[in-house]
A and B are shown apart, each in its own frame.
Chain A
Amino acid sequence: MTPMTSDLAIETSGLVKTFGDTRAVDGVDLAVPAGGVYGVLGPNGAGKTTTIRMLATLLPPDGGTAYVLGHDVVHEAAQVRSRVALTGQFASLDEDLSGTENLVLIARLQGYSRSAAKQRAAELLEAFDLTAAARKQVKAYSGGMRRRLDIAGSIVVRPDLMFLDEPTTGLDPRSRNQVWEIVRALVRAGTTVLLTTQYLEEADQLADRIAVIDHGRVIAEGTSGQLKASVGSGAVKVRVADPTDRPALATLLAESLDAEPVLDSDPASLSFRVADPTVVAGALHRAGEHGLLISEYSLGQPSLDEVFLALTGRPAEETAPATNDPTRPTAEEVPA
């Protein structure tokens, strides 16, 4: 098979990777358009990292085909490598070296002269707010600093396609916003970004299209709007001041919202999935008229959990590595 169209940055067909008896990636089909951000959403162990490692030529596929920027990842790995960059889930940095040395090292390997490498390193450190830590060993960096340095390392030469594997997992909101900012700047400069995430909000903020992966398969694909439409357009969460009011409120709102109430473990709160968010305000108003005191409410987008529940009939947590289902070890944790 040859790539059908050149405006696809990534095209995979039936991609498979097995580790022992585990099919970590079990027939993934992706068509990622060039330009913009493509999000791959899924819980731990869904096969996201394994898929990215195959696309970045770090792991040979056991089945199927994958074309990255028009090149076969198996037979034209060198061409792929010269145009992509990878920022892994765990910082791909040499912890013993300083920030500057890490960047100079990558720049030298990319072909920069000694002085040009130093200059480029300084420029990137400045842009990513790392100048003060430039001479410190990466060991001493915070999570957010590592992540920024890691991304800087990936764009010493701006790649045509960049893989970002869970770029904000474990970051505080400020660092997360900085990473998002950098991703947006990359896209503006013309890089296609493939981003994996466990957070629907992140995919929503950044990605033009999203593939939802579970158990090594793509179970849904589309824009964020399309995905959310599949689970109802929003979730209403309500908390009553007095838990004894909850049953009455549940009945009342169920009727006016035309939705099933979901009773949370918190005895004072309940939630609804609504198709039409415009009726919410009126419904809450009616509750007040009935003397039901609401202490807190929110109308938000469905969570990854809810998307998963809608798509698979079970919450995302069930696939997380915390469960002890022996037949489904997490792909990400299979020793490399």
Chain B
Amino acid sequence: MTTTTRADTTSSQPPALDASVIAAVGGAERPRHAGPVGASMTYGWRALLKIKHVPEQLFDVTMFPIMFTLMFTYVFGGAMAGSPGEYLQYALPGILTQTVVFITMYTALTINTDIEKGVFDRFRSLPVWRPALLVGALLGDALRYVIASAVVLTVGLAIGYRAPGGVLGVVAAVALLVLFCVALTWVWLIVGLKVRTPNAVMGTSMMVLFPLTFVSSVFAPPETMPGWLQAFVDVNPVTLLVEAARGLMNDAADGGDILLVVLLSAVITAVFAPIALRLYNNKT
């Protein structure tokens, strides 16, 4: 029983799908699905592909650092240390730290955007270790941190920064920064999973990051600040991070600071990674 007066739409046959479709549908082998490491690497590869296809997303890790370095050096430099050149020597390790700490928040943004899209459902319905998606995102982020560091250092070099600690000191400082920021990224993953919209993510993160990075020894020696503020600066983890990085770059590495940063990173990871993974697994 079909419609008699109107053309039956089903009679317009699709192009010759059938034979090849049947072959493609039936012909798949069923390999053992990827393990946790393989899946994480694959998601990390996805992060790289996204950088390749949407290079604009690197603006935040390239333009911010350049702006910060130039602005702080030339605007405050003379007033702070007598000359921009001298201030640069003091501030560059700080600017480097601030830049990388700042861009950790983009992790929250990325995961939040992902969840809104249908692709999140696809990934979660696959039979692979679920947290691999988060670990893969972390791998991609680590790369962004390295890129941002390279940008700051290049600009710094170009306008006269010289690291007394040499290449080795700089590399060690960057490695320490990336370690700490990857740990911090777990916190941002929680924000990204909890907060409803990407805009809210931005708002929340600015409120946290501005005081955290500015009220530290990034731009000015704490000795010049009032006592009550110094109290905060002293317990601010960013201060610890800056001092450790600065030490490495100035050829005055403080083993205690470095150890503390490593310990702090471990503690942050131990506390926040399980929470993030739990939230992620229960995310609906």
Residue of B nearest to A281 (CB): B4
Selected from B17, B38, B196, the residue in CB contact (under 8 A) with A129 is B17
The stretch that binds B, out of A3-11, A34-42, A154-162, A322-330, is: A154-162
* B53 & A59 in contact (Cβ 8 Å cutoff): no
* B21 & A109 in contact (Cβ 8 Å cutoff): no
* A88 & B122 in contact (Cβ 8 Å cutoff): yes
Of listed A191, A233, A300, residue having the most chain B CB within 10 A = A300
* B284 & A336 in contact (Cβ 8 Å cutoff): yes
Residues of A within 8 A of B15 (CB): 129, 178
B54 within 8 A of A: yes
Of listed B12, B24, B45, B53, residue having the most chain A CB within 10 A = B24
* B10 & A185 in contact (Cβ 8 Å cutoff): no
Selected from B14, B22, B32, B121, the residue in CB contact (under 8 A) with A188 is B22
* B117 & A95 in contact (Cβ 8 Å cutoff): yes
Digitize B34-64: 1 where CB-to-A-CB distance is under 8 Å, 0 elsewhere.
1000110010011001100110000000000
Which of chain A's residues 46-97 have a Cβ closer than 8 Å to chain B?
53, 56-60, 78, 81-82, 84-86, 88-97
* B5 & A298 in contact (Cβ 8 Å cutoff): yes
Bound-state CA distance A92–B120 (Å) is 7
Residues of B within 8 A of A60 (CB): 282, 284
A252 within 8 A of B: no
Residues of B within 8 A of A137 (CB): 53
Which of chain B's residues 220-241 have a Cβ closer than 8 Å to chain A?
none
A182 within 8 A of B: yes
Bound-state CA distance A192–B282 (Å) is 27
* A96 & B53 in contact (Cβ 8 Å cutoff): yes
Residues of A within 8 A of B132 (CB): 109
Bound-state CA distance A157–B30 (Å) is 6
* B121 & A58 in contact (Cβ 8 Å cutoff): yes
Selected from B18, B34, B126, the residue in CB contact (under 8 A) with A185 is B18
Chain B interface, number of residues (Cβ within 8 angstroms): 54
Given A94-B46, A153-B122, residue A127 in contact with residue B31 (CB < 8 A): no
Of listed B13, B196, B284, residue having the most chain A CB within 10 A = B284
Digitize A263-298: 1 where CB-to-B-CB distance is under 8 Å, 0 elsewhere.
000000000000001000000000000000000111
Chain A residues engaging chain B, CB cutoff 8 angstroms? 53, 56-60, 78, 81-82, 84-86, 88-98, 101, 105-106, 108-112, 116, 120, 123-124, 126-129, 137, 152-153, 155-158, 173-174, 177-178, 181-182, 185-186, 188-189, 191, 205, 233-234, 277, 296-301, 335-336
4 pairs of A and B residues whose beta carbons are closest in the complex? A127-B24, A92-B122, A111-B31, A82-B127
22 A-B interface contacts by CB (under 8 A) = A53-B284, A56-B121, A90-B118, A94-B50, A106-B126, A108-B38, A108-B45, A111-B33, A111-B34, A128-B24, A158-B25, A177-B12, A177-B14, A178-B15, A178-B17, A182-B25, A185-B25, A188-B26, A296-B5, A298-B3, A298-B4, A299-B4
